[in-house]
Amino acid sequence: MNVLIVDDEPLARERLARLLDGLGGHALSPPCGDGRAAVEACAAGGVDLVLLDIEMPGMDGLEAARHLAGLADPPAVVFCTAYDAHALAAFEAAAVDYLLKPVRAERLAEALQRAARRRAERLVPATAPAPARARSHLAVRLGGSLRLVPVEDIRYLQAEEKYVVVHHVRGMDLVEDSLKALEAEFGERFLRIHRNCLVARGQFAELRRHADGSTHVRLRDGGVELEVSRRCLPGLRAALAHL
């Protein structure tokens, strides 16, 4: 199998690499230091197994595993962590095994065998369970590739037909998540201004009432103006009063 080691600690990556070398029979992909880099590496293809740490800066291992499970050809995932508190969440994320650091060679060998069987039997679930907390990134599919958009970079979300357009600092992308689902997940970060639009709380610069009686919000970045529906206006004014 082609194995990818993901850990923010260089010494931990080196130790796992030595253990794998001692067991033999496996190829190593260039290691990654965080969850986002791991997802991007696996989206490019060729990774059969990910040895994944959980506590990492940025995208943690649990969120990375959920993104990995959504790939067209998801790798098997074995968590390698210093903490046992995440075991239940790890198996809910379809992990093959859960190894505690310092990882022992015999336990790693068992995990590799389980991963090989899982890959052979194609039992990795095609869908991931609902996240325990809001994601830090949205996954955007572009043909056969995948792009991760940091949620903190999103200015506003606008529903258009079957998709939601994500307007962010580098442009715009389409996601298949519904606006209702995104509001439920990221309600602390976005405010609804219309039945088809959510705006990041930090983007509100001004509310403007036009001559025709309509109300628009002007965003801090990009000079964009978006219409506020009459239904959403009272709640929006109340929310902005506390920002």
Pairing of strands 137-142, 76-81: unpaired
Segment 68-99, tens digit of pLDDT: 999 988 999 999 988 777 666 666 667 888 89
Could you tell me the CA-to-CA distances from 240 to 188, 194, 204, 243 in Å, in that order?
A: 13, 15, 8, 5
Segment 18-77, tens digit of pLDDT: 999 999 999 999 999 999 999 999 999 999 999 999 999 999 999 999 999 999 889 999
What pTM, to 2 d.p., does this model score?
Answer: 0.64
Q: At what angle do helices 35-43 and 61-69 cross, to 10 degrees?
A: 20
d(CA 122, CA 124): 6
What structural domains and CATH numbers belong to the chain? 2-121 (3.40.50.2300), 149-240 (2.40.50.1020)
Segment 118-138, tens digit of pLDDT: 777 754 444 555 455 678 899
